[in-house]
Chains A and B, each alone.
Chain A
């Protein structure tokens, strides 16, 4: 073993011990075992509003198991908040079919089967009309969920903004680890700029949006666009983004045991998407330490009962310090995954109106 190699080995061992947690990253397999759980925290989160709780109860009734104890494969088979919301809607006699006012088509932007995008377009769009364009990234911690699970927000944005929404699928971890998702997000952004006109889009009116892991990608892609001198969006909508790798933030304590996202799940996602502990300090993941200067106006939406709430709040502070125009709102009585549930959750309806309204204002300028 070379001197350099030995030194690197020693550094790795030291770094692993210093971080104080089991840092072994997973294999690149959807069967890879979950990490050991973090020490339990007794504090219980506040009770969600009754309409939010009804969705969470419905997800449980569909057989949800604790994600943080599962392999990625089993986690990908679990019912989602969207499944719970449709169950509530059906029980209320509401239709659960996709809104026919918006049509979709799937187009590849790369050679991997996961490198495709779902293009949402208002059915009533007039032939020849040039619509604004939103590039949207779904959530799921870069490990679970896909464009199918996150249908509500892009569909609603297409309708309410009379815009083309490009919902980007990307390669998932642990099969493909960080920064594969950030690379795919950037590739899909470039591809949208090159092709939107052929779909009836006008990229002079462009926004970036995303939820959770996708909320991170929306901001990270805006940074990429700035650094690579690409066309910049007029607005960024980042809904409960992953933005701060500090595991001691207030929300990661007070919402440690929250549903449907808890702090052990954040650790679980990191175990699968990172290649090394150093990845967590990369400014693309730890956005609060990124160079945020010169970004377009940002809207950040958070839920009160969510371990990622402090990520959004600290990202808003970091953006403000960097001179970026930013508005951040935390909606009470709701949890992670509430956004897009506006048909059955009042807080979600309010948040959707607020957030989409902000993008509409940016397009109108």
Chain B
């Protein structure tokens, strides 16, 4: 009887399924799309911005997010996970269209607002995979990307 009481709550707590970590392919696709969006939106703002802070931030984003895509691609090869050419999802596509529609200072402001939101999302993706990802090479890559994304967020807090 005592045993039953001890076991019962564990049985209840175990009701939900195991964690739903992104599988390696979903992680590679999500990270790749996020990097592609970063590079594309940064290119769009570089076409028009006259603000040196925005310019140097956007240039850094292109550099860093090119590197993280290469790092994830290399880790994917090690993990024997396919890394298809990244594509923007419909929301990222819309965000880029919104930037293209704006000009001048309005485009700069829209870019910074988008960067703040997208970097929080990127941090979520990388942290979640770094903590519980199932493919060790990709998990190691995510762990290295987390502090980079965090440093971008710190820079964005001042913009």
Residues on A facing B (Cβ under 8 Å) = 1, 6, 9-10, 12-13, 16, 22-27, 29-36, 61-63, 70-71, 73-74, 76-77, 79, 83, 86-87, 90, 95-98, 100, 105-106, 113, 116, 146, 148-149, 151, 271
Contact = CB atoms under 8 A, between A and B. Distances in A.
Contacts of B2: 1, 6
Given A62-B91, A96-B101, A29 B131 contact: yes
A76 B121 contact: yes
Interface string B89-111: 11100100110011001110110
Interface of B: 2, 5-6, 8-9, 12-22, 30, 89-91, 94, 97-98, 101-102, 105-107, 109-110, 113, 116-117, 120-121, 124-125, 127-128, 131-132, 150, 153, 156-158
Contact of B15 (A24, A31, A63, A148): A24
Contacts of B13: 24-25
Contacts, number: 124
A199 to B, nearest CB: 16
A97 B16 contact: no
A97 B9 contact: no
Contact of A100 (B21, B106, B116, B132): B106
A90 to B, nearest CB: 6
By Cβ-Cβ distance, the 6 closest A-B pairs, closest first, are A97-B106, A148-B117, A106-B157, A97-B110, A33-B17, A24-B15
A71 B129 CA distance: 13
Contacts of A77: 30, 121, 124-125
Nearest to B98: A96
Main secondary structure of the interface of A (DSSP, over half): loop
A274 to B, nearest CB: 13
Given A1-B2, A97-B110, A271-B16, 13 more contacts: A6-B6, A13-B8, A33-B18, A62-B94, A63-B89, A71-B19, A73-B22, A77-B125, A79-B91, A87-B94, A90-B97, A97-B113, A148-B113
26 contacts: A9-B8, A12-B9, A16-B12, A22-B16, A24-B16, A25-B13, A31-B19, A31-B132, A32-B19, A33-B16, A33-B19, A36-B16, A61-B90, A63-B91, A70-B20, A74-B20, A76-B124, A77-B30, A79-B90, A90-B97, A95-B101, A97-B102, A97-B107, A98-B113, A106-B156, A151-B113
A342 to B, nearest CB: 18
Contacts of B14: 24
A31 B6 contact: no
A171 to B, nearest CB: 13
Given A16-B9, A76-B121, A97-B106, A86 B98 contact: yes
Main secondary structure of the interface of B (DSSP, over half): helix
Contacts of B101: 90, 95-96
Given A73-B124, A77-B125, A27 B19 contact: yes
A31 B94 contact: no
Given A9-B5, A98-B110, A31 B12 contact: no
Contacts of A76: 121, 124
Nearest to A29: B19
A100 B109 contact: yes
B30 to A, nearest CB: 7
Given A31-B21, A31-B132, A36-B16, A113 B150 contact: yes
A16 B101 CA distance: 54
B30 A9 contact: no
Nearest to B154: A113
| Centre residue among A1, A10, A31 by max chain B CB count within 10 A | A31
A191 B11 CA distance: 43
Contacts of B117: 146, 148-149
